[in-house]
Structure 1
């Protein structure tokens, strides 16, 4: 699962995170190459809202308009919620638009992954303290082994990545380096090819 849109990667946005250019994007690019090499499922995740007017009873934001800058997540500005072009989806990859922190909550994700025969998910993106953490917790609750890819996770708040990865590793999933995850992809990819050449 890759979760990183322009609102979180491009300079000058309220959600822009640390270490995007020097660490997160290069790690995600390497992982995407590994996933695509073996034709493993890739799900790109972003967040946006159709109705951001808090007075409108049909708003799809719930109460989040009290906590986040609504102009950054408005569906009417696709440039902000589009996946960063450096790690953009290619044809055949899923783009999931979520409404809550977790990529699982209220979405088709668990069913899609099960239908694809997935039992382990690698989580990348931002932010460690919200979307990444909630997705990992819900992934575990839905019966998936979850792996947080250390170099491919970021946050706006200094120190948040280190603390959340420590806590995730202790309670909810595994935290592994990009290098370890690439070796894992090669191992299961080669096994897949030996069964279905």
Structure 2
């Protein structure tokens, strides 16, 4: 889409948001779940197949290079400086033959080309080197859209005393959204980091973040989340001492 088309799409979305906000607020939506005392960063599918060009899953490269990766770098710096857990999530499959009688792809390959993310090609599902995991951070492999579905993520978070998840990654329409929905369902305070969520379809991020903020998570900026990550330990210590 051209810049003119994008601006017109943004204008139309903003008009829809304004009308929808009135309906939501009249009916008691858009409440706040709030930040908790013990956060973790959940980075969804910021692996090369999604962050780099040339793959069917490749997302908006301008947003990736100018907003998502730089924002992630700031979040990672704050988590690492303050000892907050970081879970990098990626997706790949061992049996990618669509005609096989059994495959770990399940039926998802009937809808989208997940067969291209072959577990044998580690470079595809490796986390982008610009935000590569360091020692003490966990890289989790998932098979479905949600980072919680069929994984041990909720148990890992609870064992670490986590009550708040800051969710980033791609895509807003699928893996990020379902991770947020399931995170709230599993009892975690859910925070969507606005500048660190992407997609490949124009308008998808704006619409989904608006809708998520009304129903499933609080949407906050990178600045707000970094400030929280840098201060939450001190706040928790002060409350415990009182």
Sort the TM-score into its range (normalised by shorter chain).
over 0.9
Q: Which runs of structure 2 are paired with 1:110-189 in the superposition (5 Å)?
A: 110-189=154-233
In the alignment, the residues of structure 1 paired with residue 77 and residue 237 of structure 2 have an alpha-carbon distance, to the nearest angstrom, of: 16
3-state SS of 1:128 partner? coil
3-state SS of 2:200 partner? coil
Question: Paired residue for 1:2, among 27, 43, 55?
Answer: 43
RMSD: 1.5
Q: Is 1:99 aligned to 2:140, yes or no?
A: no
Contact 2:96/2:116 (<8 A) preserved: no
Question: Paired residue for 2:55, among 1, 13, 25?
Answer: 13
Larger Rg: 2
- Please identify, of 46-55 and 168-177, the stretch whose mean Cα deviation from structure 2 is larger: 46-55
How far apart are 1:42 and its partner, in Å?
0.4
3-state SS of 1:118 partner? coil
**Structure-2-length-normalised TM-score:** 0.78
> 1:74-128 CA deviation, whole Å, 9 max, x = no partner?
1111111110000011011111000000000000000000000000000000000
3-state SS of 1:7 partner? helix
Contact 1:124/1:153 (<8 A) preserved: yes
**Structure-1-length-normalised TM-score:** 0.95
How far apart are 1:192 and its partner, in Å?
5.3
How far apart are 1:13 and its partner, in Å?
1.5
Count matched residues.
Answer: 196
Moved runs in structure 1, 4+ residues, more than 6 A? none
Question: Paired residue for 2:80, among 11, 36, 50?
Answer: 36
Match of 1:74 in 2: 118
